[in-house]
Amino acid sequence: MAFPSKQTTQSVAHRAQTAAALLKKEKKEPSLSPLAKAAVELMVFEGRRRADAAEAVGMKDDSLRKALTKPDVLAFMNECMEVLRTSGRPRALRKMIELVDDAKTERIQFEAAKYLDGMDRPSHAVGATVNVQVNNTVNVTPGYVLDLRPDEAVKSAPQIEHLGTDDVIGLDELTDVPEEE
């Protein structure tokens, strides 16, 4: 059995989130066929494979595969997965509490306590998460700019309006600057 590549899996997940966000922004409900809706619900809530879910609702596997590439179907699947994830959180929390109390090893008790304390969940952190990305495509060199062109080239070159050529300090004027030791 061939498994999809990680890149394919991640791109589908990203497209599902993007599709869900667009529909939510436009305040629209996902529009999909009743068969596709039933198949997605079987896949998400009952854990059926795509081929089995398609057969159970009377679709061909290829038709369901193609439907799963459409934004509305992806958005609906994303909503279903979020419902499943949310409904599983109380059970997961209860299991962690049971592990703190009843685990056979102290290591498992410690890991469960660490999870409940929030120290082990950077991706589930409470509060706002801020991501910043800076794309700097402009080459900027800090410091002073020394113009070593002859005076004729400086005067004929375009100047920034508030700077005149009279403000340029020549190298011969810098001769009395003390040397650093």
What is the distance between the alpha carbons of residues 171 and 3, in angstroms, rounded to a whole number? 69
What is the pLDDT, as a whole number, of residue 121? 62
Asked if residue 75 lies in contact with residue 30, where contact means CB atoms within 8 angstroms, the answer is yes
Q: Where are the domains of the chain?
A: 8-122
Asked if residue 19 lies in contact with residue 75, where contact means CB atoms within 8 angstroms, the answer is yes
What is the pLDDT, as a whole number, of residue 62? 92
3-state secondary structure of 177: coil
With a cut of 70, which residues of the chain have pLDDT below it? 1-13, 16, 119-147, 153-172, 174-181
- The predicted-structure confidence for 138-165, as pLDDT tens digits, reads as follows 666 666 666 677 777 666 666 666 555 5
What is the distance between the alpha carbons of residues 96 and 90, in angstroms, rounded to a whole number? 10
What is the pLDDT, as a whole number, of residue 162? 56
What is the pLDDT, as a whole number, of residue 150? 73
Q: What is the pTM of this model?
A: 0.52
What is the pLDDT, as a whole number, of residue 56? 94
